[in-house]
Chains A and B, each alone.
Chain A
């Protein structure tokens, strides 16, 4: 398990007999960007939430960097971070106060200089003094990403990182994530509906359909006879 970032064994989740995720077993290596694809309700976000301990599985086991999430939760959570456009930060606090709050929770050393450095990189330095609640969705996404990078996560989970963003901001966020991954050799898992984005960023894919794992492997192997992911999905729908 030395070179494995995430390993799930028979992972299942059901709410009142409604199956959300069924017997998902996968093993992701370290150092890379991995995509989770699926239609609405396929179980993508549930899978991400389970990897972070936000949702307790009905069955199955999760190992992060070789350690059981059930037995070593707080140790593992120090290595993880997460960003989603559907999860916000406290609105009444300024961006800086929010980032300081999370830096303290993650016990980040020299957090002020870390925040200033990340803010500069993500072009949010001028937003630090504003209330988070007053920001636009593009600005919030960049601030959320800044929060997600505060602890230099070895495992970064991104739920639709560019949803509802304009083309330029999306491109900026994508480039930044790619650059971060290269520099830090971290593992990044992305869920997205944007097939072009997944194609550009990920070389390994996990496909979910109605809670079941339908494919895990290289992007190239998946689309073999097609020109793009979009074409593959159109042909196989």
Chain B
């Protein structure tokens, strides 16, 4: 019996610690939780009310907008993973479809899945908590599109890594967004973070997006400088991530990986 249990333990050890992404997901989560709830509690305790917008409204806006990013990324990666899991990649890549057409297809299905997925959440938030997301007006459209673009950028990086390095990187599809969560200032302002981290995290478009969301919610205006920063960072990230994904398809062709993917 001991031998059999030992054999199982060895097998599960190999699965759990056999790849860097899986190892990362084991020790990263407790740290993320502590950082996230620590900063969030600080912000919550020191801010009770912002004019007509309660803290609750700001949090609900952040929850829904964060989900735009998460759903956007997941919609893209899961659609691509379906091809891997079905062992369908060779069939797909021998059709006259171009790599860029696959990119466009993934982006569109992600957009559709995100809109469908979030509609009930917005409705329930409105019905049960008298929460009016649409009061963000035109800014909502701007924030939505920029967050989903961040999701696509992350999605292309993850899809490229899985195509190149295999299924061990699938874990990242679920984890990567939450790795950047504490540093994205989703539920608390940038000023809540230690100064040294504040300078570093400004390379994340999410920081400027959620800072802008709070600015609109509290003061009703949008800093034009932030708007330009968001657009610039997103253009750079989406361009580089698509380039990375296309490069990984090329590498997969060189290494014969398109033929050997599957569950």
Contact = CB atoms under 8 A, between A and B. Distances in A.
Contact of A49 (B82, B85, B90, B250): B90
Contact of B82 (A54, A86, A90, A106): A90
A53 interface: yes
Interface residues of B, number: 23
B94 A54 contact: yes
Contacts, number: 74
A54 B258 contact: yes
B90 A84 contact: yes
Given A89-B86, A90-B83, A91-B86, A54 B93 contact: yes
A106 B256 contact: no
Contacts of A87: 87-88, 90-91, 259
Interface string A74-97: 110110111010111111100000
Given A90-B88, A91-B86, A92-B82, A55 B94 contact: no
Contacts of A106: 95-96
A55 B250 CA distance: 9
A44 interface: no
Given A45-B259, A55-B258, A90 B86 contact: yes
Contacts of A55: 253-254, 256, 258-259
Nearest to A90: B86
A121 B129 CA distance: 60
B253 A88 contact: no
Contact of B96 (A45, A49, A78, A86): A78
A75 B96 CA distance: 7
B236 interface: no
A53 B82 CA distance: 22
A25 interface: no
A49 B91 contact: no
Contact of B253 (A15, A56, A81): A56
Interface of A: 13, 15, 45-46, 49, 52-56, 74-75, 77-78, 80-82, 84, 86-92, 102, 105-107, 147
25 contacts: A15-B255, A49-B90, A52-B94, A53-B93, A53-B253, A54-B93, A54-B253, A54-B259, A56-B250, A56-B253, A74-B98, A78-B96, A81-B94, A82-B91, A84-B90, A87-B91, A88-B87, A88-B91, A89-B86, A92-B86, A102-B95, A105-B95, A105-B96, A105-B97, A107-B96
Interface of B: 82-83, 85-88, 90-98, 250, 253-256, 258-259, 262
